[in-house]
């Protein structure tokens, strides 16, 4: 084998299939399943996330799973890559899955060097040829940002493997983008690992299906192995029931939630809406891409009308003007019901977080728009804990202090409440979702 050639991987052992293992039953429940006894830490930006990840990777003894939408080739991203390579060379099993669209421009620089170190890398829905765009489901992307080390420590949030000062469309920026992630240990890491393993498995299966089938047929128990493989890719099996919340759980209570196109289509959206409906004092929400469905908007408006302080932080420095316009056409409706809206001015906004009152918070990859809520594969952490929520409140408060409050006069003067822009955005969303295969009202 020449240096730089892809490392041959046994598709059964590579997936870590345990034929006798029981998949996690949390996936069957379309609501957050909380577990107690966790430790969670809020991390702001790659400046905090990457050193924490690298430290965990350096201490890895068995296996590392990483899923990301973007894996850049800048210095910060390369520091993560070097840590992964060194782990693989000392015998740790390392598996990486990147999205074929988000990481497209950097695959040639990243994949060969990772594979040369013995890392199995797979590309989720690759776009190597124009014909790939014709394949069903290509608009559904892997947008999760997950890393799990030894099944002990996990990282989840909105931060891609890219320097905070680099924007793919605008180049180097003076100030870092605003984004967050969570470092977690405890029982909540188990579903995180199950999810990232499943994403890697789904992408890898079919990568070289002829070799995989030959390997399966030559194992002692091919049918048993194949069943294990299928269980791995679908996350779980039927027949389990899980309590949504045990009030006697020890702190910290945390739930890992995903959005996919199987059994968890609306779980993240439902977690948001349920929390909004239960709010008594405040709702602070940050989302760079904000165009929720009617039920979500109605829940926010009703919360504001019953006296809850509802603050939304949006992009003031848009990276995609169409996305910013989509959010702004909703401003008049939201403000009419008493919702406060702010736009973040110092840098690009990429955070996807929300806190409710003093004990509920979520950090993750999901925007509040049709692409995240109805198409992409997403992952969020939901935490019920006073200290974590207070930490997030401090960070949101700092961001709000650097933002501009939107006034009704400004909305009216700039024409954001006009009928034509609203109809245009709704039509564009409808067409996009129809092309992507999503039906029903939004």
Catalytic site positions: 143, 145, 150, 350, 352, 357
How far apart CA 177 and CA 396 sit, in angstroms, is 14
| Partner residues linked to 257 by β-bridges | 380
Q: Are 64 and 93 in contact (CB under 8 A)?
A: yes
First to last CA, the chain: 52
**Are 94 and 197 in contact, with CB atoms under 8 Å apart?**
no
CA distances from 69 to 48, 123, 157, 365, 417 (A): 19, 10, 12, 10, 33
Measured distance CA(109)–CA(282) in Å, rounded: 45
Q: CA–CA separation, 360 vs 388, rounded Å?
A: 9
Contact present, 322 and 290 (Cβ < 8 Å): no
Q: Give the other-Cβ count within 10 Å of 286's Cβ.
A: 30
Question: What would the DSSP string read from start to end of 172-217?
Answer: E-SSPPB-EEEEEESTTHHHHHHHHHHHHHHHHTTTTHHHHHHHHH
């Amino acid at each position: 084998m020449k240096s730089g050639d892809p490392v041959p991987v046994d598709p059964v052992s590579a997936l870590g299939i345990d034929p006798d293992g029981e998949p996690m039953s949390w996936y069957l429940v379309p609501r957050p399943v909380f577990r107690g006894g966790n430790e969670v830490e809020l991390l702001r930006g790659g400046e905090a996330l990457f050193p924490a990840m690298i430290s965990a990777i350096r201490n890895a003894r068995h296996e590392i799973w990483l899923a990301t939408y973007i894996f850049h080739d800048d210095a910060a991203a390369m520091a993560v890559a070097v840590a992964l390579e060194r782990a693989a060379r000392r015998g740790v099993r390392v598996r990486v899955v990147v999205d074929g669209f988000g990481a497209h421009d950097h695959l040639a620089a990243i994949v060969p060097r990772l594979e040369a170190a013995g890392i199995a890398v797979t590309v989720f829905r690759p776009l190597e040829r124009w014909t790939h765009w014709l394949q069903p489901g290509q608009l559904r992307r892997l947008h999760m940002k997950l890393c799990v080390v030894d099944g002990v420590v996990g990282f989840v949030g909105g931060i891609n493997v890219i320097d905070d000062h680099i924007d793919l469309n605008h180049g180097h920026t003076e100030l870092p983008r605003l984004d967050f992630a969570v470092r977690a240990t405890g029982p909540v890491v188990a579903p995180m690992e199950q999810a990232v393993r499943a994403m890697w498995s789904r992408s890898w299966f079919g990568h070289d299906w002829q070799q995989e089938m030959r390997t399966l047929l030559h194992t002692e128990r091919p049918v048993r192995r194949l069943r294990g493989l299928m269980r791995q890719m679908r996350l779980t099996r039927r027949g389990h029931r899980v309590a949504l919340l045990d009030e006697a759980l020890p702190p910290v209570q945390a739930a890992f939630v995903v959005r996919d196109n199987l059994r968890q289509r609306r779980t993240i959206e439902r977690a948001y809406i349920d929390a909004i409906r239960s709010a008594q004092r405040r709702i602070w929400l940050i989302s760079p891409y904000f165009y929720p469905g009617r039920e979500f908007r109605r829940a926010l408006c009703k919360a504001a009308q019953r006296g809850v302080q509802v603050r939304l932080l949006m992009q003031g420095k848009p990276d995609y003007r169409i996305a910013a316009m989509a959010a702004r056409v909703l401003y008049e409706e939201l403000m009419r019901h008493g919702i406060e809206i702010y736009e973040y001015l110092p840098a690009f906004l990429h955070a996807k977080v929300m806190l409710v009152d003093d004990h509920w918070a979520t950090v993750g990859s999901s925007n509040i728009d049709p692409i995240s809520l109805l198409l992409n594969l997403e992952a969020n952490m939901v935490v019920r804990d006073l200290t974590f929520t207070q930490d997030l409140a401090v960070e949101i408060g700092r961001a709000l202090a650097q933002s501009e409050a939107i006034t009704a006069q400004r909305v009216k003067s700039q024409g954001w409440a006009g009928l034509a822009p609203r109809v245009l955005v709704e039509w564009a969303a409808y067409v996009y979702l129809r092309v992507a295969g999503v039906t029903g009202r939004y």
